[in-house]
Structure 1
Amino acid sequence: MPAFAGQTRAPAVVTRAHYAAKVMTTGLNQPWGIAFLPDGKILVKEKVGTMRVVDSKTERLKRAS
């Protein structure tokens, strides 16, 4: 049932791609952005202004310098 006249429902995106979720690190304070680096590390931006680096091999978290 539409909430208002002219409202339509957009079709859902259906994918058959397989994926897995994995917790890489803990102890972040409101993470909201990530970027993957060529060396396998991951930059994580927190809302409080801190940028962290996660090493995807060791899963260690450190403050970006």
Structure 2
Amino acid sequence: MPGFSYVAVDQAGKEIKGSIDAENSERVAETLRRDGLLPLSIKEQGVLNKEIDFAIGKKVKPRDLSV
């Protein structure tokens, strides 16, 4: 089952980022709506973009550097 990265907004307007394993992007959107979130973007994860998070002011994880 492929993984999908998403950006969604909760009922308070707070942006939430995460990932879900699902059959397709429609299932991801359905799951997010069921959880009370409004999906803004859904992208299939590849080898290079799978849960890599570079933020200014935070330590870079060794796994992120190796990718």
What band does the TM-score fall into relative to the shorter chain?
A: under 0.3
TM-score (norm 2): 0.22
- Give the TM-score taking structure 1 as reference length: 0.22
**Rg larger in 1 or in 2?**
1
Quick one: higher RCO (CA 8 Å, sep 6+), 1 or 2?
Answer: 2
The structure carrying a bigger helix percent of its residues is: 2
